[in-house]
Structure 1
Amino acid sequence: MKKGLLQTLIVTAILSGMNGVVSAGGGQNTSKLDEYTLDDVVVTAQRVETKDLDTPATTTVITAQQLKDTGATTTYEAIERVPGLNAFSYGQGGEAYGGMFSRINIRGLDRGTLMLIDGVPANMLNYNSFLNTIPVDSIEKIEIVKGAGSVLYGADAFGGVINIITKKSEGKKVRGSVSGTIGSYEKNYAVTVGNEDVTLTYQRDYRKPVHQIGRIYTTGTSRKARANGTKDYVFLNLRLSDKLTANYSYADTNSEYDTFKYDGGGTKDWTKPEYRYHWDLKTQRVGLTYDDSDRQWRTKFAWARQTIRPFAGNGTTNTDSNSYHFETQKAWDLRGGKDNLVSGLEFHSENVEDHTKTEATMRRDSYAAFLSYTRQFNDYFSATFGMREHFVKANSYEQRQNVFLPQIQTLYKISPKAVWYVNIGKSFEMPAVNSWFPAATRKVLKRQHEMKPQVGWNYETGLKFGDQKESVKLAVFRMMVKNKFVWIKDPSDPTISIQANQDEFRNVGMELEYNKQINPHLSARIGGYYANPQARDGQKWKQADARQQYFLGLQYRNAKLRVNTDWYITAKRQDAYYLMTGKTQTQAKRGPDHRVPNRIEGNLTMSYEMTPDQTVSFGVYNILNRENPINEYEYWSLPRNYRLSYTYQF
């Protein structure tokens, strides 16, 4: 550890010699910017507008233009390339099947990342599976804040927060766009139209079959194949007044995967139909925001609903889930604007009904009060003291919880373009509402599979240097969590997966992001993550997630042409969930026999502006055509594939 800290200090000393001047501008509309800089405004980290350089946390912002440049068709594709973030999905772009939810984790902790839509929590059943419910064309920017976040944003924010900020059109004139994409494994079209009062987006995706979507272990196991699927998005943004806005999102996903057994006599291949898993997943969300900037008063409400229905076949997940969230906050400028105080109240309710179980209906209500005070001690040093009192109401399954969550952050300005920060906070998260219902009756389940909340601490220190031409972010962190949530096979029925607690989770590591504008046309981005995520169940610690991530991006642009290439590697990964025989370690009563292989993804995208209103784009993805496993179950991303897109603006 001492050696690692010494290396960090050496790197810091080298970077502190960088040249550049911080821009004097602030409060820019990031939807109009090609790149994000340290001088741009971040609203997520402290619930009030602060510049990145003045924010005591690790922050990453992806602008609308950067989303286009990467060719991302889903939010997952864009954010899984950020160092320290890891996608857990069942296929490319956050593919999910029924209750097999895809999600993003931060710094190796599954189910510890909170998703926000316009600043309002949008997790469901402890997962950020709503990430793919907003069309990419409706996103203005994505703010990612790593580290302790539970004090300001509540449960689920163990590893950090992902805030999707949606677009708001400007002007009375009606404007819009029409786009279409044709690809090797997908096609879609989208229409957006609106003005400053109302904006509507509709998108429809078609997914083509994929012959094999994961590892085949032995002839005794099955081949999984993706079938045809569709997805419909609707997103509506309304400006009801100067202070009141509303939005509505709807997504309907029809997904299916099939399994095939090995034909030992005829084809010598996995061609015999075995099982068919076919679901319809619908999500809806309504958000209301009242924002009185003059009085620094903000109130928000959100309702979300998720329904899963099995079609004909072997899929069994059949649930309805709802959540309601209300919050109000007030900010005050103190001591002539030197200090800032933010306080607020929250109410959150979540319920789930499982139609395949006996009496499997549950509701959980929670309440919270939070306070955050930022004190400017002098021109160089400031500190933020935060606290949250979090109450969880008792129900027929769970005891009442009353948890106090403190947080302290400090910021020291080394120079006008460099800062050093510290961020320490406690986090708390209840088990998923549906964690009590993996089998027949709730009474038996409570006795056999009772779960505890996971509680932990985040410690982080970091440095930020830079200006509009060059910037560096370096962070060193430590996470400690008790009662980590995991999925295991039910000891009484190995065909069923249930949620349970492990004893502990810990992670120590560092992250680095470097951005450089090489010349007016060429820019580069380099990032890395090196850590040691471990989980303990009993006396033995074992690796819980990937230890290394690397990212390299280059972009060329001129008046009409933009060329972008991204390469990212996930390495030194954890043990695979299944043995090479296809059995789990528990079933085989032995240890692991292989690790999850490294994931190496390389993409190349190009866009050309034929006229001011027309743009054509082309992308090549998974250039090396690797069988890249996304998660510990060894589901793969897509083979090498191509996409051609056309956009017309009016």
Structure 2
Amino acid sequence: MRNVPFYALLLLCIGWSALANAQEPDSLGMSLDQVVVTGTRSARAASQVSASISIIDRDQLEQSSHINVLPSIVPHVPGLMLNDRATVGYGVGPGSGGNLSIRGISGTPNNRILVLIDGQPQFMGIFSHPIADAYHATDIERVEVIRGAASVLYGSNAMGGAINLITANTRSPGWSGQVAGTAGSFGTRTLSGKLAFQSERWESLVSLNHGATDGFRDDAADGFSNTSLFYKLTHHLQEGLTLTGDLQLSDASYQHPGTLEAPLSDDQRDYRRGRVALGVRNDGEKASGAVLVYHNFGEHRFATGFQSVDFNQGLSLYQNLKLVPGQTLTFGVEHSRFGGEASNDQLPPAAAVGLDDPHRVRQTEVYAQVQQTFWKDLHLNAGVREVYNSQFGNTTVPGFGLSYEANARNVFKASSSKAFRSPSVVDLFLFPPSNTELRPESLWNHELGFLRSFSGGKWELEFVVYYTKGDNLIQLDIAGGVPGNRNTGTFRNKGLESQIHYRPRGELAFIFSYNFADVSENVLFAPRHYLKLQTIGQVGKFRFVPFVQQVFGLRNSLDREAESETYSLLNLQVNYQISDRLRAHILGNNLFDSQYQLENGYPMPGINMAAGINYQFKSKNR
């Protein structure tokens, strides 16, 4: 079933959805008047933001049965590819999953797509990649994704885009919560619970999540287990002034299976991650912004002898000022430190360069952006970020764009922006290829976009063309016979993104996207053609949600003789609403039993199933 024609899958999904009755399904797409905060640091209608942004709200997240939030957003974000286990869990590093790619921009490990929690950057202090296992759906209210360069507002690592996970708020006074559990193929099981409380000025939320699988590889051990705790406390000091603190802890273990050519039986890797954050936010008519402090930390222990402790901590302050009609000025200052130390007593001295010593990198950044509206329809923005890094010195990151609302149904966008990635600790200090003279990676992203809403909002269309030019990429170079990390890599990516949302009278609802990418030979994880279709059909208490992906020309190896991957995937979720509070679901993944590899040498599982229940409760208001 590797080459099932996509149109056949399309007809299959439409056929399922055609069973729908007149009940209105949840919104599937991004309306032009939805308010976003990620693209500008201030609340603004999506139609007025020059960046390409995808929005996934709480209702959409709650309809998914995934314990982790990232698989739930894939159908909604054009061109976003996610390398997961297709059961539960990701793991850390190459061959373990968790890789994110937008417009062909990714990395190994993934350090060119920035993940944020409430606007605060989340990445490991040594390898500079996010830990995908730490992001759970119970904790997240909303996800906003910037597709394309986002470093002017969010700094390092936002080369291909930024994924902002906005943590959950308590929706109603009194007590509320939910418990859920699933069990499925390969010994996969998940348990999650959330308890929330809201009074006049206080909000509190605590969640506990556990996911595990025995693994599906017959030739190697590939089990996974993760338990995470999240706590958030919010105090509304006065109108327009809010104090928030949150804590997150994760304890995980996975078995790295190795490739098909070199399977492993006892490469267990344990890691613990933690995060604490405190923020004060002001929201006034003339001024809005925040002061945010965060500290991320982790500990890793591998059977191969590798051990590490790392941290990533920082302070962020920004303010949006509306002093002139139609104008918003944003000023921000950020200071961060990241680093750690590692050891491996199984390596010979020649291979243990930089180990056993602590390493620190400091970075101070200031940025400013101006947004100006002319004649109510033309919205211009321009910004610049100035970066000082203790290793490479200074770099300047500019960006500008516009959005033109031709009328209530048609919006045109254009933008050009620079983005960068600071060298990580492993690039600079660890192992023989390390090089303390590295400069930051950089790229320029140029794009044109068109959005249209018609037929009374039943149809929404988004179309974007882009050109991305990357330079100074850090790559292993053997010039002069001495292998080392050097700023030698370049690439040129160009392509288009298109997405259609269709919402008739509840009888049929779908979100369809097609992406074309023409990328350089050294770019992986970027299919030449990538199609997605998710539909929703409602029949009485049953909800059918099939999700189809068709991938053509995915390169997963730099070997020029390696064949690219072409495959079809069909996932199907069926929900049954037993009562107002209790819902059951069945989830089937890869129902065509396609054989494919997202990372070369690491097969993905075939057909696998899971079933579970979700119970929600809320106390009566007095």
Residue pairs, 1:158-237, within 5 angstroms: 158-185=159-186, 186-196=188-198, 197-212=203-218, 223-227=219-223, 229-237=224-232
Name the structure, 1 or 2, with higher relative contact order (CA <8 Å, separation 6+). 2
CA distance in 2, matches of 1:275, 1:492: 35
CA distance in 1, matches of 2:434, 2:444: 28
Structure 1 residue aligned with 2:337: 349
CA distance in 2, matches of 1:548, 1:35: 22
Q: Is the aligned partner of 1:472 residue 2:466?
A: no
Structure 2 residue aligned with 1:598: 566
State the one-letter code of the partner of 1:557: Q
Structure 1 residue aligned with 2:509: 523
| Offset of residue 560 of structure 1 | 3.1
| Offset of residue 518 of structure 1 | 2.6
| Offset of residue 348 of structure 1 | 1.2
| Offset of residue 260 of structure 1 | 9.8
| Offset of residue 557 of structure 1 | 2.6
Q: Is the aligned partner of 1:609 residue 2:605?
A: no
Q: Is the aligned partner of 1:293 residue 2:290?
A: no
Q: Is the aligned partner of 1:454 residue 2:444?
A: no
Residue pairs, 1:355-504, within 5 angstroms: 355-356=343-344, 357=352, 358-393=355-390, 398-399=391-392, 401-439=393-431, 446=434, 451-466=438-453, 468-486=457-475, 501-504=487-490
Q: Is the aligned partner of 1:545 residue 2:526?
A: yes
Structure 1 residue aligned with 2:101: 105
2:81 to 78, 86, 111: 86
Aligned in 2, Cα 1:322/1:261: closer, same or farther, shift over 3 Å? closer
CA contact (8 A) 1:35 1:63 kept: no
Aligned in 2, Cα 1:80/1:628: closer, same or farther, shift over 3 Å? farther
Q: Deviations over 1:476-516 (max 9, x none)?
A: 1111111224578999999xxx8654420110110001000
CA distance in 1, matches of 2:249, 2:267: 23
Structure 1 unaligned segments of length 5 or more: list them. Answer: 1-31, 213-222, 263-269, 537-541, 578-584, 586-591
| Offset of residue 163 of structure 1 | 0.6
CA contact (8 A) 1:103 1:127 kept: no
CA distance in 1, matches of 2:274, 2:553: 38
| Offset of residue 380 of structure 1 | 2.5
CA distance in 2, matches of 1:436, 1:247: 32
CA distance in 1, matches of 2:479, 2:230: 40
Task: Give the structure-1-normalised TM-score.
Answer: 0.81
Aligned in 2, Cα 1:300/1:65: closer, same or farther, shift over 3 Å? same
Structure 2 unaligned segments of length 5 or more: list them. Answer: 1-25, 345-351, 618-622
| Offset of residue 274 of structure 1 | 5.7
Secondary structure of the structure 2 residue equivalent to 1:630: strand
Q: Deviations over 1:518-565 (max 9, x none)?
A: 3224201110110111156xxxxx777322211111111366332111
| Offset of residue 635 of structure 1 | 2.0
| Offset of residue 259 of structure 1 | 5.9
Paired residues, what number?
Answer: 563
Q: Is the aligned partner of 1:513 residue 2:505?
A: no
Secondary structure of the structure 2 residue equivalent to 1:452: coil
Task: Give the structure-2-normalised TM-score.
Answer: 0.84
Secondary structure of the structure 2 residue equivalent to 1:79: helix
Aligned in 2, Cα 1:276/1:491: closer, same or farther, shift over 3 Å? farther
Secondary structure of the structure 1 residue equivalent to 2:91: coil
CA contact (8 A) 2:113 2:159 kept: yes
Q: Deviations over 1:125-163 (max 9, x none)?
A: 565423331221221121111122111111111111101
CA distance in 1, matches of 2:260, 2:532: 38
Q: Deviations over 1:338-384 (max 9, x none)?
A: 11111111111101211224444211111111111111122322210
Structure 1 residue aligned with 2:9: none
Aligned in 2, Cα 1:259/1:84: closer, same or farther, shift over 3 Å? closer
Among the aligned pairs, what percent are the same residue? 20
Q: Deviations over 1:192-231 (max 9, x none)?
A: 112132111001112123125xxxxxxxxxx44413x321
Structure 2 residue aligned with 1:53: 47
